[in-house]
Structure 1
Amino acid sequence: MRSVTTFMVLVAIWLAGFFAFASRVQQSTPPIEPAFADGVVALTGPRSDLRLGAAVGLLEDGKAQRVLISGVSRIANREDIRAASGATRRLYDCCVDLGFRAADTVGNARETIEWAAAMRYKSLIIVTADYHMPRAMLELRAVTPKDLALQTYAVPTPALQSARWWRRPSAVRLMALEYSKYLAILVREAVLSLGPRTRPGEA
C-alpha cells in the first residue's frame, strides 16, 4: 500500500511539473523584441525552416552582426540552408555561418560557445523552438562564461499553440518527451553540483 501511495505522489508531482513546464513553453511566445546583440544562434531541429527564418529575420532587422546555424546536417549544403532560411544571397553570403559538428543539444551549446569565443562576442540571441528553449538554455548556461550574455527568442510550434493542445496526442507526446529530457538535465546538474564540476563530454 505504501508503495502505491508513493507512486501516486510521484505521478502527481510529475504531472504538476509537466503542466507548469507546458505553461512556461506557451507563455514564451510570441517572443519579446530582443535588444541588439553581437550574434544570433539558431539551433536546428524539427521544422528548422521556422527557426532559420526567425534567426535571419533578426539579422535583417539589425539585431545582430552575424548568425550561426548550429547542428546543420552534413548532407546539407549552403544553398539548401539558404533556401530554408529565406535569406537573400547577399546577406547570407556575408553574415551567416554554418556549424556541422553538433548532433544534439549538448553539441549545440558547445558549438555556440566556441563560435562566440572565436568571434569575440559578448552577447547572443538564442533562437529555437518554444518547447526546446528551456532545455537548450540549461545546456547553454552550463557552459557559458560569465562575460557572455544570452537572450532567448522562442519560435512558436503550431501544434502547441492551441489552448487545448493537450487533446492532441502528438502534442502531448512532444511536450512530455521534452519535459522528461528537461528533468533529466536538472537531475544531472544536481548530481554534478555535489562533486567535481565535470561538464558533459569532458574527460
Structure 2
Amino acid sequence: MKSIAAFLVLALIWVAGLLAFAARVQQSTPAPYPDPADGVVALTGANSNERIAAALNLLQDGMGRRLLISGVNRDATREDIRNVSKPARRLYDCCVDLGFTAADTVGNARETADWARTMRFKSLIIVTTDYHMPRAMLELRAVMREPEFHLQTYAVPTPSLKSGRWWRSPRSTRLMVVEYCKYLAILGREAVLGLGPREPAPGSEPAAAAQ
C-alpha cells in the first residue's frame, strides 16, 4: 500500500508539474518585444522557418548587430537558407552567420557560446519555439552565465499548443509531454549531477561558422 501511495503522490506531482510547464509555454507568447542586444540567435529545429523569420525580423528592426542561425543542416547552403527566409540580400550577406555543428540543444548552447565569445557579444536575444524555450535556456545558461552574458528570450508560438485544451489532441499532448520530460532530465542533470553541456571532443571544429 505504501508503494502505491508513493507512486500516486509522485504521479500527482508529475502531472502538476506538466500543467505548470504547459502554462509557462502558453504564456510565453505573444512574446514582448525585446530590448536591443549585441546579437540575435535562432535555434533551428521543428518550425525552423518560423524561427528564422522571427529572428531576421528582429535583425532588420535593429535589435541586434548580427544573427546566428544555429544548427543548420550540413547539406544546406547559404542560398538555401536565404531562399527559405527571403531576407533582404544586403542584410543577409552582411550580418547573418550560419552554424553547422549543432545537432541538438546541447550543441546549440555550445555553438551560441562560442559565437558570442568570438564576436565579443555580451547580450543576446534567443529565438526558438515556445515549447523549446525553457529547455534551451537551461542549456544556454549552463555555458553562458551572468554577469558575463545577458540573455533575452523571444518565443515563437506553436498554434496547436495555444488552445486551453491542448491535451485533447494526441499530437499536442505528445509534444508537450515529451518536451516536459526532456526539461525534467536537464533539471535533474543540473540539480543532482551539477553537469553542464558536454565539452566538445579535442580537435573538433569550432561550434560557430561565420558568414
* TM-score normalized by the length of structure 1: 0.95
For 1:51 and 1:86, the matched residues in 2 are separated by 13
| Alpha-carbon distance between aligned partners in 2 of 1:96 and 1:81, rounded to the nearest angstrom | 10
Match of 1:199 in 2: 196
CA-CA distance at 1:159 after TM superposition: 1.1
Deviations 1:24-81 (A, max 9, x none): 0000000001000000000000110000000000011111111000000111111111
Identity of aligned residues (%): 67
Q: Which residue of 1 aligns with 2:92?
A: 92
Partner of 1:162: 163
Q: CA deviation at 1:155?
A: 0.2
- Does the 8 Å contact 2:18/2:177 carry over to 1? yes
Query: Following the alignment from structure 2 to structure 1, what is the Cα–Cα distance between the partners of residues 197 and 25?
Result: 25
**Unaligned ranges ≥5, structure 2:** 202-211
SS of residue in 2 equivalent to 1:154: strand
> Which residue pairs with 2:72 in the alignment?
72
By how many angstroms is 1:4 displaced?
1.2
Show the counterpart of 1:2: 2
- Alignment match, 1:42: 42
Q: Distance in 1 between matches of 2:66 and 2:91?
A: 9
Distance 2:175 2:70 in 1: 22
Higher RCO structure (Cα 8 Å, ≥6 apart):
2
1:40-189 matches, within 5 Å, as 40-146=40-146, 147-189=148-190
Q: Which SS does the other structure have where 1:180 is aligned?
A: helix
Q: Deviations over 1:138-197 (max 9, x none)?
A: 00001104321000000001111222211111000000000000000000001233xxxx
CA RMSD of aligned residues (A): 1.1
Question: 1:83 Cα deviation (Å)?
Answer: 1.9
Amino acid at match of 2:15: L
Which runs of 4 or more aligned residues in structure 1 lie more than 3 Å from their structure 2 counterparts after TM superposition?
A: none
Q: Please tell me the residue identity of whatever aligns with 1:26.
A: Q
Q: Aligned equivalents of 1:150 and 1:27: distance in 2? A: 19
Aligned-pair CA distance for 1:199: 2.9
Question: Which of 143-152 and 115-124 deviates more?
Answer: 143-152
TM-score in terms of structure 2 length: 0.91
Give 1:86 shift: 2.5
